[in-house]
Structure 1
Amino acid sequence: MNILIFLGSCRTSSPPRPKRLGERVSLACSHLLNRAFPGNTVEIIDPLDYDTGGVFKPEFAYSRKQVPQQLATLAEKIKHADAYVMVSPEYNHSMSPALAHLLNHFGSSLFSFKPSAIVTYSAGQWGGARAAVSMRTFLSELGCLPVSAMIHLPCAQDVFSEDGHTINAEEQTHWDEYLHRTLAQMIWWAEASQQQRNKVDPLMVSKAFTHSPSQRNAPK
């Protein structure tokens, strides 16, 4: 299966310190997925690698021949992925604006009928848990339903090194088990949804809205 980890931060400078704490968390998730579930393809999607342009315009709002190459490339990756790990800090009790901005460039039909996992973090004591509340709604609307278990990482800079490994080797088993519970749920649902998609095209059962928001309206 193909698994995408979306890194929800585009900060490159300090403060805050340490910078790009989300990169450590994303790498930690990637390491565990590769160890615990070998044979899958795991890729971190870093918003710094994608130029979304100065004026917001979703990938699906372009004509097919005019979609910027970076958006087209990421759209294909999203389309062919089987699960998504969403890594976010907390901004004003909500998810990262960098993550929301990137995801909003793509239609829900690319994400639909696949699971996601919510991973939040902070440099302080709350672990970004309040951001997860809004993320559940956001990801459900996007179509990649989040699994019930979530990961919240307080003081993440004291848990993971810059390369995404557990700083205190004695605590590695504890953190592996904590991350594993959520990611294992995601993998279980990803395998199930992949098998069902191979049997029945979900967009033939529940068609995507591609023309107008009014397609959502109840009949008059």
Structure 2
Amino acid sequence: MKFLVFLGTVRDSTPPKPARLGARVSKAVLECLQSRYTEYEVELVDALDLPLDPIFKPHFAYPRSKVPSELNLLAEKIKTADGFIMISPEYNHSMSPALANLLNHFGSSLFSYKPSAIVTYSAGQWGGMRAAVGMRTFLSELGCLPVSAMIHVPKAQDVFAEDGSAKAQDQASWFDYFGRTFNQLIWWAQATKEHRLQVDPHKLVRDFKTQPSERNAP
């Protein structure tokens, strides 16, 4: 199976210091997945690496011959993935606008019928848990329902070093904590993958391709 890890932050400046706490968290997440779940393919999608225009235009709205190659490539990766891990800071008690912007570039049909896991972090004591509440609704609307266990990393600057290693606490303990969520994600990903092979969900519930009104009541 294949999983995409989305890092939804594009802040790369100081103050505040240290910059891009999410990079530390994503490195820890990747290390956990690659060391404990070696049979699966894992790839990072960093919003900072993508040419996402501040004026929003979704991937599916471009003329076919003019779609940016980076968006086409990512759309194919989303389509072939079996599950997603969404990493977000908390801005004003909400998920990162950079993550929302990134995900909104793609139709929900690419994400649908696959599970997701929520990972949040903050420089403060709550670990982004208030952002996670809103992310549940957002990801459910995309169709990649989040598993019940979530990961929250409070005071991330004190927890993980720049390379993603744990600073004061035992890294194995953090990976055990991560594993509760990842085990749920993998269980659901395997179940949905097997069922998609038996029943094509896109034939049961038709995807709207041109107008959102296609899903309206008569």
TM interval, short-chain normalised: over 0.9
Look up the match of 1:122.
122
**Distance in 1 (alpha carbons) for counterparts of 2:167 and 2:80:** 34
**Distance in 1 (alpha carbons) for counterparts of 2:108 and 2:177:** 29
Equivalent residue runs for 1:181-196 within 5 Å: 181-196=180-195
Moved over 6 A (4+): none
Look up the match of 1:113.
113
Look up the match of 2:198.
199
The residue matched to 2:170 in structure 1 has which SS? helix
**1:32 aligned onto 2:32:** yes
Structure 2 runs not aligned, ≥5 long:
none
The residue matched to 2:105 in structure 1 has which SS? coil
Q: What is the TM-score normalised by the length of structure 1?
A: 0.96
Equivalent residue runs for 1:45-56 within 5 Å: 45-56=45-56
1:6, CA displacement in angstroms? 0.5
1:47-106, Cα deviation, whole Å (9 max, x unpaired): 121102242100011122221111111111111111110000001111001100111100
**Distance in 1 (alpha carbons) for counterparts of 2:16 and 2:196:** 43
* RMSD between superposed Cα atoms in Å: 1.1
Structure 1 runs not aligned, ≥5 long:
none
The residue matched to 1:102 in structure 2 has which SS? helix
Equivalent residue runs for 1:169-184 within 5 Å: 171-184=170-183
Alignment coverage as a number of residue pairs: 218
Aligned residue type for 1:61: A
Identity of aligned residues (%): 61
Equivalent residue runs for 1:1-220 within 5 Å: 1-168=1-168, 171-219=170-218
Aligned residue type for 2:85: V
**Distance in 2 (alpha carbons) for counterparts of 1:204 and 1:164:** 42
**Distance in 1 (alpha carbons) for counterparts of 2:141 and 2:7:** 19
The residue matched to 1:137 in structure 2 has which SS? helix
Q: Indicate the larger mover: 101-110 or 200-209.
A: 200-209
